[in-house]
Structure formats: structure tokens, C-alpha cells
Amino acid sequence: MTTQKTTWRGWRRHFSAQARRPLPPLPARIDVPEDLRAPLARSLARFQVGEGGEGRIAHQIYRTRLATIDDDYRAALRLFVREEGRHARILAQMVRGLDGALVKSTWSERLFVGVRRLAGVRLKLLVLLAAEVVGIGFYGHLARRLPAGELREALAEITADESAHLDFHVDFFRRETAGSRARKALFAGLWIAIAGAACLLVVVDHRATLRRSGGGSWAAMRDYGRRIAAVLRATLDAPETADAAAESIVGRPAPRMSAAS
């Protein structure tokens, strides 16, 4: 993750370039330890539902007028949603390769959708930011723990994409809270509550996968706690102190995007 100030045009160009990539190759049948196959397929099927459900905000943002966004931001957000749809297609391939079944809806996905539909644009984007932290933590855990191969590489690619998504949303909230103590305090309170609840729900729902892939619920919650705190610092701190906090979210810096990107 980078805290360098960017233009929305730079983000639009970033997502446009990303959209030209082919889907990563995955075998028809994916080899993983047998005790992990069923819970991993279940987990990826549930994440697949969430990755494909962000289209509403891409339309709503065109009716939204905020001082911090412009038409380049609106185009970038639409491209971000398409990239999430790409993730949904990749995850669907993974589920099939693990002999799993795709699902149309889950209780956690319905909860997230319900919150977003009741909320204004800013709160919807905050929920999306929480989803990026959830994704980075879960996909990144799997990419580190699974045996080397195409599944691991595809999960690492999704994790890198989610890192850029997180940058994008943090950039928005950094601008939205700049110069206002009241907005910073409101962001901090809502962020801790929403992100904490989202991460807890995911850890509970996917505890079998975490355990059988060499992790555990407590380790996952500690990791998520660090990521939540790092996002808070990266959003609210002065630029010169936010860089280290930002990098700690994903464990490495993301490629920097200059205003000329």
C-alpha cells in the first residue's frame, strides 16, 4: 500500500491497465491436501458471492456530488467493480477445481448487502474498505500456506489486487477527512466498529479453513487487528508518519502511482 497522494486520473488508468490482463491459468482439478479440499471449496465459494456483488454503487456514484471526487474517480470506481467481478470468475474456477459447488447467497453476504443498501455513499465505501482488509487477510493467508502451484499464484494475484483496492479507498477517505477533527473522529469510530465486526464474522465463518490451512481463529483475529489499526493510521496520520503504517497492512509496499500515471 502507498500513501502517496494520487490523482483520480491515475487510478482510472491503473484500473484500465489491469482490466487487460487474462485470467490466471487454473487446472480442471486442483490438488490440495484432502482434509482441506471441502472447507477450502466452501470458503472460496462464499467469498465468490461477495466479490460479484458491488455493482449498485458503481451506478450510484454517478448521481453523487462530493467535493473530493470527479468523473475520473467515478470511472475508476466502475473499473474497480469490474475487477471485483474478475475475481469472482477466478474464484468460481477455483471452487470447481476443488470439486465444490457455487452458492447464490450467504448469510454474511446478505448482511453486508443489507448494510450497504441502507447507507449513504460514504458508508458504503467504508464497508467496501472493510471487505478489502478481510480479503487481503484471508487470501494472503492462503497464498502463504498452500503448496506452490497455480492456485497459490492466483490467490497471490488477487491479494495484490485487493491491496491496490485498499489504497484506492484509503485515498478517498484521506481526502474526505483531511483538515477536520470531527470527520477524523467519526471515521475512526465507524471504521473500528465496521471492520472489527466484518473480520470477526469472517473468522467465525471460515474457522475450519483457517485451522486446516495451518492457522487458527486467534491468530487470524490478531492479524486482522493489526491490519485494522494500520488502515486507521494510514488514513488519518500525517503523510510522513503514515507510510510505515500503510506498508504493514499488506506486509510490503504496493507500486506507487504518480500523478502522471
Residues 2-32 pLDDT 10s = 444 468 999 999 999 999 999 999 999 999 9
Looking at domain 8-250, its CATH class is: mainly alpha
Residue 245 is predicted with a pLDDT of 41
Residue 53 is predicted with a pLDDT of 62
* CA–CA separation, 51 and 35 (whole Å): 25
* CA–CA separation, 231 and 78 (whole Å): 23
How is 106-156 classified by DSSP, letter by letter? -HHHHHHHHHHHHS-HHHHHHHHHHHHHHHHHHHHHHHHHSPSSHHHHHHH
* CA–CA separation, 166 and 172 (whole Å): 10
Residues 44-55 pLDDT 10s = 999 999 887 666
Residue 52 is predicted with a pLDDT of 74
Mean of all residue pLDDT scores within the chain: 87
Query: Over pLDDT 90: what percentage of the chain?
Result: 72
Residues 204-240 pLDDT 10s = 999 999 999 998 899 999 999 999 999 999 999 855 4
Residue 203 is predicted with a pLDDT of 97
- Quick one: average pLDDT of 103-128? 73
The DSSP secondary-structure symbol of 52 reads T
Residues 156-165 pLDDT 10s = 999 999 999 9
Grid coordinates belonging to 71: 468523473
Residue 108 has pLDDT above 90, yes or no: no
> Domain map of the chain by residue range?
8-250
